[in-house]
Amino acid sequence: MVFKKKKVCYDTLVRTIDSMDSKICEMRKGLSTLKQSLLAGNEEEEICPDEVASEIALLDAIQDICLEGLLEREPEGDA
């Protein structure tokens, strides 16, 4: 009787693993499809050089503001 109980347990485990494997395969296919659609979408989109330049200028301005804020802070503690 002990052997029969283990066989049932293994059968359940194998079915669970098979189910998980199927779901992983479905997820892999979905991610592959999503990746292909995103890559295809990027080819259609054009990036304006002026937009890139304005983004870089914005990042530089934010960096300058952050650096100024750090320089204006008073030191804390003994350091």
User: Which pLDDT score is estimated for 44?
Assistant: 57
> How far, in Å, CA of 3 to CA of 9, rounded?
10
User: Which pLDDT score is estimated for 76?
Assistant: 66
Amino acid present at 72: E
Distances (CA, A) of 49 to 12, 16, 52, 73: 59, 53, 5, 37
User: Which pLDDT score is estimated for 3?
Assistant: 57
Number of structural domains (the chain) is 1
User: Which pLDDT score is estimated for 42?
Assistant: 56
Q: Which residue reads 């194998």 in tokens?
A: 14
Note the pTM of the prediction, 2 decimals. Answer: 0.42
Enclosing domain of residue 16:
2-72
Q: Which residue reads 């320089």 in tokens?
A: 71
User: Which pLDDT score is estimated for 12?
Assistant: 84
> How far, in Å, CA of 23 to CA of 30, rounded?
10
User: Which pLDDT score is estimated for 4?
Assistant: 60
Residues of the chain with pLDDT under 50: 79
